[in-house]
């Protein structure tokens, strides 16, 4: 049954959500938000199933082009990412009409994927290089944001201690306001989670393109998975645990995130994570059909 999911399934779901969102300023429709969530959930589910079916088909035919290696695939991935972003924004602020701005872009990307469906996929070496760049870039920027969150978290705790002890020195040691630090801290927490999730997922796709499988028991994979699980848990704690002050809570979470990240990086350095064997450089006029010795992990 799920093999029959087409572009029309989730396109129609997103279109109905857009129509419902567009009625906010004109009519008060009973149970509109329930209808929005039902259709949005249906759209996300069928969209994910469609991408899964595409990936399964491409894995079965893995050859010169690779996995998720066309403009069609990438347009749908971008649309799916925007749909998840819209879902997150709607969950946080259901009273806002953000969908009227984001949903047209989602539908535009789906239309683009339909128009380029017959385009020739990229060579497998190009695919590997692109996903390797996405993997490395996401992890690099994610690491920077976690580190920034660590610094901001420390600033918040120091500033809060200064105010509590009434030892603030206006000219010698001034720090931004607690409200600003709290907002920046929370942004670092959420952005770093998204970036590291992208790094983890692109690493999985990179492994599938290189070796046709993911070594889930490899050290690099397990460490990355544990780090991502903690970041998701940290967001859950920030949103649903109400003990203590929210600013101090998110400050502690970003400090702990940094400690987890350092531990993860040390563990990854101790493994063959991301190291290529001599003479096997994908995309550099080398054959990549036999990269069994490559140890690139998400």
DSSP 174: -
Q: Is residue 295 part of a domain?
A: no
Residues 6+ apart with CB under 8 A from 40: 13, 14, 17, 83, 86, 87, 90
Q: Are 202 and 298 in contact (CB under 8 A)?
A: yes
Question: Looking at the structure, do residues 169 and 205 belong to the same domain, yes or no?
Answer: yes
Residues 6+ apart with CB under 8 A from 249: 237, 238, 241, 243
Indicate the pTM of the whole model.
0.66
Q: Is residue 156 part of a domain?
A: yes
Angstrom distances, CA of residue 114 to CA of 1, 11, 69, 117: 22, 11, 15, 5
Question: Looking at the structure, do residues 128 and 198 belong to the same domain, yes or no?
Answer: yes
Question: Looking at the structure, do residues 161 and 185 belong to the same domain, yes or no?
Answer: yes
Partners of residue 250 on adjacent β-strands: none
Q: How confident is the model at residue 281 (pLDDT cuts 50, 70, 90)?
A: very low
Q: pLDDT > 70: what percent of the chain? A: 80
Q: How confident is the model at residue 286 (pLDDT cuts 50, 70, 90)?
A: very low
Question: Looking at the structure, do residues 130 and 80 belong to the same domain, yes or no?
Answer: no
Question: Looking at the structure, do residues 42 and 79 belong to the same domain, yes or no?
Answer: yes
Answer yes or no: is pLDDT of 288 > 50.
Answer: no
Q: Which of 115, 149, 175 is the C-terminal boundary of a domain?
A: 115
DSSP reduced 3-state for 210: helix
Q: Are 298 and 220 in contact (CB under 8 A)?
A: yes
Question: Looking at the structure, do residues 44 and 157 belong to the same domain, yes or no?
Answer: no
Question: Looking at the structure, do residues 193 and 111 belong to the same domain, yes or no?
Answer: no
Mean pLDDT across the stretch 70-93?
86
Question: Looking at the structure, do residues 44 and 24 belong to the same domain, yes or no?
Answer: yes
Task: Please compute, for residue 264, the number of CA atoms within 13 A of its CA located in the half-sphere on the CB side.
Answer: 26
Q: Is residue 89 part of a domain?
A: yes
Q: Is 212 left (phi over 0), alpha (psi -120 to 50) or beta?
A: left
Answer yes or no: is pLDDT of 54 > 90.
Answer: no
Question: Looking at the structure, do residues 7 and 57 belong to the same domain, yes or no?
Answer: yes
Q: Which of 53, 83, 115 is the C-terminal boundary of a domain?
A: 115
Residues 6+ apart with CB under 8 A from 188: 145, 146, 148, 149, 152, 254
Q: Is residue 224 part of a domain?
A: yes
Q: Is residue 289 part of a domain?
A: no
How confident is the model at residue 270, as a pLDDT? 66
Question: Looking at the structure, do residues 131 and 106 belong to the same domain, yes or no?
Answer: no
Q: Which of 61, 84, 115 is the C-terminal boundary of a domain?
A: 115
Number of domains in the chain: 2
Question: Looking at the structure, do residues 133 and 96 belong to the same domain, yes or no?
Answer: no
Q: Is residue 296 part of a domain?
A: no
**Structural domain containing residue 9:** 2-115
Question: Looking at the structure, do residues 102 and 167 belong to the same domain, yes or no?
Answer: no
């Amino acid at each position: 049954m799920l093999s029959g999911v087409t572009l029309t399934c989730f396109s129609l779901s997103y279109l109905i959500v857009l129509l419902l969102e567009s009625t906010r300023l004109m009519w008060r429709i009973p149970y509109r938000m329930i209808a929005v969530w039902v259709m949005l959930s249906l759209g996300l589910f069928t969209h994910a199933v469609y991408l899964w079916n595409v990936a399964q088909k491409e894995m079965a035919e893995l050859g010169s082009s690779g996995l998720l290696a066309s403009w069609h695939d990438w347009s749908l991935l971008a649309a799916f990412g925007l749909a998840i972003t819209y879902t997150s924004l709607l969950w946080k602020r259901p009273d806002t009409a953000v969908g009227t701005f984001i949903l047209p872009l989602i539908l535009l990307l789906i239309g683009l994927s339909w128009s380029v469906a017959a385009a020739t996929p990229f060579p497998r070496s190009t695919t590997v290089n692109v996903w390797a760049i996405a993997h490395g870039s996401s992890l690099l920027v994610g690491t920077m944001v976690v580190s920034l969150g660590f610094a901001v978290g420390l600033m918040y705790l120091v500033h809060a201690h200064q105010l509590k002890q009434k030892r603030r020195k206006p000219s010698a040691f001034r720090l931004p306001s607690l409200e600003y630090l709290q907002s920046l801290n929370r942004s670092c927490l959420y952005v770093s989670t998204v970036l590291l999730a992208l790094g983890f997922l692109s690493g999985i796709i990179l492994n599938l393109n290189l070796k046709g499988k993911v070594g889930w028991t490899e050290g690099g994979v397990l460490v990355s998975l544990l780090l991502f699980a903690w970041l998701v848990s940290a967001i859950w704690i920030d949103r649903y645990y109400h003990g203590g002050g929210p600013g101090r809570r998110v400050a502690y979470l970003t400090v702990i995130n940094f400690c987890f990240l350092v531990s993860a990086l040390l563990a990854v350095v101790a493994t063959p994570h991301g190291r290529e064997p001599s003479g096997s450089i994908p995309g550099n006029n080398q054959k990549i059909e036999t990269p069994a010795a490559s140890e690139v992990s998400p």
